[in-house]
Amino acid sequence: MVATRAVAGTPIDRRELLLRGAAAAAAAAAARVDVGVSRAQLRPAAVRRLDAAVRGAVAVPGRASYENARRVYQLAGPRPRPLAVVTVRDSTDVEALMRWAAREDVAVVARSGGHSYIRQSGGSGAVVADLSRLRNVRVASAAAEVEVGGGVQLIDLNRALAARGALVPTGSCPSVGVGGLTLGGGMGLSARRLGLTCDRLVAATIVTADGRRRRVGARSDEDLFWALRGGGGSFGVVTSLRFAVHRASRAAWASMSLPWAHADEALARWQELAPAAPRALTAILSLSAGGPPQVSVIAQHFGSEAELRRLLAPLARIDGASLSTGVDGLLGLARRWAGCLDGPLAACHTQGTARGGTLQRSSFAASSIYLVRRLDEAGRRALLARVASRSGSGTVILDAYGGAINAVAADATAFVHRDVLASAQVLSYHAPGAGGEARTWVRGTRAALERHGARGAYANYADARLENFEREYWGANRTRLREVKRRVDPDGRLVFPQAVGT
Ligand SMILES: Cc1cc2nc3c(=O)[nH]c(=O)nc-3n(C[C@H](O)[C@H](O)[C@H](O)COP(=O)(O)OP(=O)(O)OC[C@H]3O[C@@H](n4cnc5c(N)ncnc54)[C@H](O)[C@@H]3O)c2cc1C
């Protein structure tokens, strides 16, 4: 490992930049990236060589394109200050960028949809490989597989596949990038039936730190392929992903609200029902504060509406529960869960990332933890008390696992959380620059769940304040991830706050 790297003329302490090792320092280290190297700039000659090396647009401080190019979804915290953002045209551009970065000794980070909770693709102190132009979605003729550019947003993948009567299980936010989602896992309302997004990955094209383009899959660089399924963006820039698709045209949906007075009963019944239900059903329960506290459940079922009602009956029987159900086509379902059911489809993109996009960026604090066993009465009481006492924004979202997610062995992919009942995501929105209280509530709520037996964390719900992020995200798989990292990126070229260490 190189001890010190000059960012094209500006000396930077590698420990400042790489944020490896002691994960307890992750939060502080993340802040150091923003502050410590914020004045670092590429030398004009390095910029000229970069301009000459790639065909894509290069945005650097001082160019008009820079302000827009450095925007990411998360508004909380200091604005990222990348050395440059290169909107690459294709894999060849990424190869050229990597070779340039090696010559100049500059760090690189990939950006797909830019939705990292802690701005891991913001690229402060590094050059961002912005994949947003790689938006090709090509369905193979037999429609058994789909090849997807590394910058495709989920709504565009959902749309292209729905038109062919097919789907890949994805998350629900329409403008999340398929790159980040897949590399971290990918949880959504089809997951108990079809697995995580990463479980459907059959091959990927990746440009590694040495500037080599590699096609990886089950029979080609199996280790790297393993790491890409849950291990995140530490191993190179993934320019293309190939997924096995599932043939379907429709599914049943449900949306339920339950009175807070029966929140404990709802939580207890949901815990019994959702993680052990037939695979066809994925159900998510939310507890929300910020006004009168609320309990709600959404669910998707690959089966009939009547079956779905039967499966949810234990919840629907609770006094005061109100249940709506229906059946919809795949695109309708994707739009429903995305919260953009009405209006033109183009609106389901983040403003400025695609023509017609209307979704607003936001500012929030978040964390996650896994329920490895059911919360007992004391655990449920503690969780409900956290929500009930919160006057500001606060939500705990319980995603049921089990089914196809847990059918995969914990060491078969880098995504390790295969024996859990549910993930609990703790989320609080706040005004940019005023997140202290939100962070405190998120932290306290996660700690309450931890005291009642929950553990681990989901890498895609990245939290800069985790004490040991590698252990929380990847558990026993972190050793093999480090081995792969050492092999494909020995100098730590791919770097961001919670990258896998060497
Ligand atoms: C509003 C919202 C809703 C969400 N809903 C869900 C959900 O339903 N289910 C779920 O599982 N997650 C969900 N997430 C979390 C989401 O999966 C992660 O934030 C994910 O990492 C975002 O991917 P991205 O490509 O948009 O982000 P980016 O910020 O571009 O990337 C995230 C990380 O992945 C790396 N990366 C991205 N693309 C590549 C690539 N091609 N090659 C190498 N590295 C790459 C980046 O360097 C960075 O480290 C949601 C996030 C938001 C903000």
- Per-residue pLDDT of 488-501, as tens digits, reads 999 999 999 999 99
Ligand 1 site residues (CB inside 6 A) read 73, 109-117, 120-121, 131, 150, 171-173, 176-177, 179-181, 183-188, 232-233, 237-238, 460, 496
Report the 10 Å Cβ neighbour count for 33.
Answer: 27
Average pLDDT in the 43-66 region?
Answer: 97
pLDDT for res 198: 98
Q: What letter would DSSP give residue 105?
A: T
Same domain, 414 and 346: yes
Domain annotation covers residue 218: yes
Pocket test for ligand 1, best of 93, 121, 132, 216 (most atoms within 8 A of CB): 121
- Per-residue pLDDT of 280-321, as tens digits, reads 999 999 999 988 999 999 999 999 999 999 999 999 999 999
Average pLDDT in the 369-380 region?
Answer: 98
Which residues have CB under 8 Å from 246's CB, separation 6+?
A: 166, 167, 168, 169, 190, 194, 200
What the block records as the tokens of 305 is 């509406």
- Cα-to-chain-centroid distance, residue 140: 26
Pocket test for ligand 1, best of 18, 33, 95, 111 (most atoms within 8 A of CB): 111
Domain, as residue range, for 236: 137-247
Which of these three, 229, 247, 265, is where a domain ends? Answer: 247
Q: Is the pTM of this model over 0.85?
A: yes
Number of domains in the chain: 3
- Look up the CATH number of the domain holding residue 236: 3.30.465.10
Nearest by Cα to 192 from 272, 295, 299, 269: 299
What the block records as the tokens of 246 is 């599932």
Same domain, 100 and 147: no
Helix boundaries (H) for 317-376: 330-338
Domain annotation covers residue 47: yes
Same domain, 152 and 261: no
Say if CB 368 and CB 155 are below 8 A apart: no
What the block records as the tokens of 127 is 């050059």
Burial of 306 (0-12, 13-18, 19+ CB in 10 A): exposed
